Amino acid sequence: MTDNRQNPAPRTDACGETRPLRVLISGGGTGGHIFPALSIANAIEREMPGTEILFVGAENRMEMKRVPDAGYEIIGLPVAGFDRKHLWRNFGVLLKLWKSLRLARRVVRTFKPDIAIGVGGYASGPTLKTAQRAGVPTLLQEQNSYAGVTNKLLAAKAKAICVAYPGMERFFPSDRIVMTGNPVRKAILEPGVSQSEAKEKLGFKPDKALVLVTGGSLGAGTLNNVMLKVIADGSAAKVDFQILWQCGGAHIDRCREAVGDQLPENVILTDFVSDMAVAYRAADLVVARAGAGTISELELLGKPSILVPSPNVAEDHQRHNAEALADRGAADMVLDADAAERLWTDIQTIVENPDTLQLLSENISKLALHDSDKLIVGQVRKIVGR
């Protein structure tokens, strides 16, 4: 039997000549879209060597740097999101959408993809809509428990919709839903050190509990404000656990100035964590926003967590993500509006109770879906007839 991973089936063009399989991947805007997209691309390269992969993203968004850094070509569209609060500003958005559709048509016509994969984000809408109109089969990857507008609009003509949560039939045609989970960066799962070694590597004592407070690379104002308060009133210095506080590049100057020389010995403040695999490994409890990528990482790592969903996202999808775990006893959820009053109390209560930590770890581990990237590649194979 031929191993398709080593000998990918050739495609035949209009002139009867064979050529490699071509895959178009579109989406981005945030790490929650970009990292799954790159994981899918890497899995396609592993499973089907020789495949040609082209990304389409949004101009001036983070994918325009992250994707080339990962070794893939990307084309940027001038697309932007709609301003729901100031509708009069959307004339420019509509003009950018029209230009993006024209450019997407050119990309599809020139690249001639065998399949187009959408991971959500501004660029995936015009790209996949254009691909569908051109008769190119499409696959959607929805990371959240509450589907985004773009994927809902594209679902009717999609061949497969890969999801990470049950109950997605309320958004998509049930006969095309495939439960795959969200792909995560392989490096996150392989820190190469024990928990004690990870704590020491980060500058902490190996025998004391560690809480990782992270708002992601951009930071989270609500989490930072809670930390500033407990440092200012002395609460953080009085506890018998340690804190790695990642405040984000945009917040570091404000946080450092506010803290001054009051930062207690048990707290390390940083703008960016360069090795999240080590930080996750070291943590006994993680306090974070409820982005789909973060939740998938926590599930696969079995990390006890307190999720503080951001209220500033489309369709309030982070709250839905957090509720999906909280309802199953797999995480503690603190709403953004309640964080000032509740978050520090919840952190102390959970991290100081080994039984609670163990229960949260066991319950969140049960929700993990492994090898998501391979499952998605399996759907790609099925759609393109491999």
Residue 83 or 7, more confident: 83
Percent residues over pLDDT 90 in the chain: 69
Q: What is the DSSP code string of 289-320?
A: ---HHHHHHHHHHT--EEE---SSSGGGHHHH
Q: Are the beta carbons of 54 and 75 closer than 8 angstroms?
A: yes
| Strand residue runs (E) in 70-186 | 73-77, 115-118, 138-142, 160-163, 177-179
Residue 337 or 18, more confident: 337
Rounded to an integer, what distance in angstroms lies between the CA atom of residue 90 and that of residue 182?
A: 32
Res 59: pLDDT: 85
pLDDT band at 91; cut points 50, 70, 90: low
Rounded to an integer, what distance in angstroms lies between the CA atom of residue 316 and that of residue 312?
A: 7
Residues 337-363 have pLDDT tens digits of 999 999 999 999 999 999 999 999 999
Q: What is the DSSP code string of 316-352?
A: GHHHHHHHHHHTTTSSEE--GGGHHHHHHHHHHHHHT
Res 4: pLDDT: 41
Q: Is the pLDDT of residue 264 over 70?
A: yes
Q: Is the pLDDT of residue 83 over 60?
A: no
First-last CA distance in the chain: 13
Res 2: pLDDT: 35
Q: Is the pLDDT of residue 203 over 90?
A: yes
Res 93: pLDDT: 66
Res 274: pLDDT: 85
Residues 211-250 have pLDDT tens digits of 999 987 667 899 999 999 999 999 999 999 999 999 988 8
Q: Are the beta carbons of 161 and 155 closer than 8 angstroms?
A: yes
Rounded to an integer, what distance in angstroms lies between the CA atom of residue 139 and that of residue 26?
A: 11
Residue 18 or 110, more confident: 110
Angle CA 148–80–35, to nearest 5: 55
Rounded to an integer, what distance in angstroms lies between the CA atom of residue 153 and that of residue 245?
A: 39
Q: In this predicted structure, which of 108-117, 314-323, 369-378 has the lowest mean pLDDT?
A: 314-323
Q: Is the pLDDT of residue 96 over 80?
A: no
| Strand residue runs (E) in the chain | 11-12, 18-19, 22-26, 52-58, 73-77, 115-118, 138-142, 160-163, 177-179, 210-214, 242-246, 267-270, 285-288, 305-307, 332-333
Res 90: pLDDT: 63
Q: Is the pLDDT of residue 311 over 60?
A: yes
Res 116: pLDDT: 98
Q: pTM of the full predicted structure?
A: 0.84
Query: Going by C-beta distance under 8 Å and a sequence separation of 6 or more, which residues neighbour residue 203?
Result: 268
Res 201: pLDDT: 96
Q: Are the beta carbons of 160 and 16 closer than 8 angstroms?
A: no
